[in-house]
């Protein structure tokens, strides 16, 4: 076999290997813009965190990270786009807990499988939940909410960012523990729910403290109780639910970063390392703390285990609340 033929065969073999190699293995990842999908409207806590992490990640990689808001249907519009995207690291998502956990119990069918269609990268943050109202004359404290709910079952309304959202799950927990019945008013996102609260169209909102904090500080909303083990220094005068006389109502929501399933492990590991480093930066930690977000970085395996565990826990809560899947 002459030298020219050997070289030709070698070139063909290398070409076949390159074509078969996983996306991202043929060069430096990323070498073009990355899309970061948020299945909620702009302006909420998930969107804010996605833009912060995306901005810092772009500075590290030298490639733009473009946040793409695909809101509606409790995540059932945005998440399928990620599930069906090419597993090459160029489509990611920042998701609240509920779209990956509670949705499996809330809906009869989902256009995605939260345990099979995604590659967890890392949990990003934890967030305390807080009960807020607009009319502090009507609802001076959590006890007043209970009294009104018991006097007229289904007569007290609460807003959420959609079926199965953290707001919805927190309200279900409150209803179950306090043995009351409220009226659910779902919206397409947390910002929309808060706006209608401010407008006086609904009575209550169980919101991530991150989203409610600016309105609490401005006096547009009043915080009645935190669904946490202890008080927050950001709202030091707000009692916990336990202090307000309602037991076993501790709940935190979280936000995580994921990619489509089968994304090459080297890309997942690279993103995990880079995002962990971002979350450890003093300026980032300060900004997150000031907006009531606690850094909660994990390994991909820890994040997957956490999702699996919460799917089971939330299923038990939905069943206990007597909620029929839609």
DSSP string, 201-234: SSSEEEEEHHHHHHHHHHTSSEEEEESSSS--GG
Domain containing 212 equals 128-235
- Shared-domain flag, residues 144 and 229: yes
SS3 74: helix
Residue (of 161, 179, 171, 96) closest to 130 by Cα position: 171
Considering Cα of 213, then 216, then 220, then 225, what sign does the dihedral take? positive
With cut-offs at 50, 70 and 90, classify the pLDDT of residue 25. Answer: very low
Which position has the higher pLDDT, 44 or 2?
A: 44
> Contact 158/202 with Cβ under 8 angstroms?
yes
pLDDT at 72: 86
SS3 247: coil
SS3 294: strand
pLDDT at 5: 53
Which position has the higher pLDDT, 17 or 176?
A: 176
Most confident of 72-76, 158-162, 195-199, 257-261: 257-261
Residue with tokens 């038990």: 316
What percent of the chain has a predicted confidence (pLDDT) above 70?
A: 91
| Dist. CA 66–CA 64, nearest whole Å | 6
What percent of the chain has a predicted confidence (pLDDT) above 90?
A: 70
202-249 pLDDT tens trace? 999 999 898 899 999 999 999 999 999 899 999 999 999 999 999 999
Least confident of 6-10, 104-108, 126-130, 232-236: 6-10
Q: Which secondary structure element, helix H or strand E, spans residue 68, and what is its range?
A: strand 65-69
The pLDDT of residue 188 is above 80: no
Q: What is the mean pLDDT of residues 294-300?
A: 95
pLDDT at 21: 43
> Contact 158/171 with Cβ under 8 angstroms?
yes
Task: Determine, yes or no, domain membership for 244.
Answer: no
The mean pLDDT of the chain is 89
With cut-offs at 50, 70 and 90, classify the pLDDT of residue 14. Answer: very low
**82, burial (CB in 10 Å: exposed 0-12, middle 13-18, buried 19+):** buried
pLDDT at 169: 85
Say which CATH number the domain at 170 has. 3.40.190.10
pLDDT at 161: 82
Task: Determine, yes or no, domain membership for 259.
Answer: yes
Q: Name beta bridge partners: 128.
A: 252
- Shared-domain flag, residues 211 and 230: yes
pLDDT at 2: 53
- Shared-domain flag, residues 154 and 202: yes
pLDDT at 27: 61
pLDDT at 73: 87
pLDDT at 324: 79
pLDDT at 191: 80
Task: Determine, yes or no, domain membership for 309.
Answer: yes
- Shared-domain flag, residues 201 and 119: no
The pLDDT of residue 253 is above 90: no
Which position has the higher pLDDT, 270 or 19?
A: 270
Task: Determine, yes or no, domain membership for 19.
Answer: no
Phi-psi region of 213 (alpha: psi -120 to 50; beta: other; left: phi over 0): alpha
pLDDT at 16: 41
122-143 pLDDT tens trace? 999 999 999 999 999 999 999 9
The number of distinct structural domains making up the chain is 2
- Shared-domain flag, residues 38 and 105: yes
The pLDDT of residue 10 is above 70: no
Q: What is the mean pLDDT of residues 22-38?
A: 79
pLDDT at 23: 42
Query: For the packed helices 265-279 and 300-320, what is the interaxial angle rounded to 10 degrees?
Result: 80
pLDDT at 71: 92
Give the domain-ending residue among 174, 201, 235: 235
- Shared-domain flag, residues 85 and 163: no
| Dist. CA 166–CA 251, nearest whole Å | 9
Enumerate residues 6+ apart whose C-beta is below 8 A from 116. Answer: 261
With cut-offs at 50, 70 and 90, classify the pLDDT of residue 26. Answer: very low
143-159 pLDDT tens trace? 999 999 999 999 999 99
pLDDT at 81: 98
Residue (of 104, 74, 78) closest to 168 by Cα position: 74
SS3 144: helix
Q: What is the mean pLDDT of residues 175-189?
A: 90
CA distances from 35 to 65, 66, 92, 153, 158 (A): 6, 5, 6, 45, 33
- Shared-domain flag, residues 155 and 100: no
CA distances from 238 to 216, 224, 231, 234, 242 (A): 11, 6, 7, 9, 12
Task: Determine, yes or no, domain membership for 22.
Answer: no
Give the domain-ending residue among 235, 267, 294: 235
């Amino acid at each position: 076999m002459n030298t020219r033929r050997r070289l030709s065969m070698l070139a063909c073999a290398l070409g076949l290997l390159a074509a078969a190699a996983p996306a991202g293995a043929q060069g430096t990842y990323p070498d073009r813009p990355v899309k970061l999908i948020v299945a909620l409207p702009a302006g909420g806590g998930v969107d804010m965190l996605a833009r912060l992490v995306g901005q810092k990640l772009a500075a590290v990689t030298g490639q733009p990270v473009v946040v793409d808001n695909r809101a509606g249907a409790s995540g059932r519009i945005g998440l399928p786009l990620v599930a069906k995207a090419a597993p090459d690291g160029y489509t990611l998502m920042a998701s609240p807990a509920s779209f990956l956990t509670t949705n499996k119990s809330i809906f009869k069918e989902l256009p995605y499988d939260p345990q099979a269609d995604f590659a967890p990268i890392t949990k990003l943050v934890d967030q305390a939940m807080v009960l807020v109202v607009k009319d502090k004359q009507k609802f001076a404290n959590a006890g007043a909410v209970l009294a009104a709910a018991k006097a007229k079952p289904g007569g007290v309304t609460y807003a959420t960012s959609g079926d199965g959202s953290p707001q919805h799950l927190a309200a279900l927990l409150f209803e179950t523990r306090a043995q009351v019945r409220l009226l659910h008013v779902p919206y397409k996102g947390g910002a929309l729910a808060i706006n209608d609260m401010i407008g006086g169209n609904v009575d209550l909102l169980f919101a991530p403290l991150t989203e409610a904090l600016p309105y609490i500080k401005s006096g547009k909303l009043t915080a009645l109780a935190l669904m946490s083990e202890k008080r927050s220094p950001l709202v030091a005068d707000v009692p916990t639910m336990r202090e307000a006389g309602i037991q076993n109502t501790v709940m935190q929501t979280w936000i995580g970063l994921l990619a489509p399933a089968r994304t090459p492990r080297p890309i997942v590991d690279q993103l995990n390392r880079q995002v962990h480093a971002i979350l450890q930066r003093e300026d980032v930690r300060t900004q997150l703390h000031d907006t009531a977000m606690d850094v909660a970085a994990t390994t991909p395996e820890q994040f997957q285990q956490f999702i699996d565990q919460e799917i089971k826990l939330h299923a038990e809560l939905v069943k206990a609340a007597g909620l029929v899947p839609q």
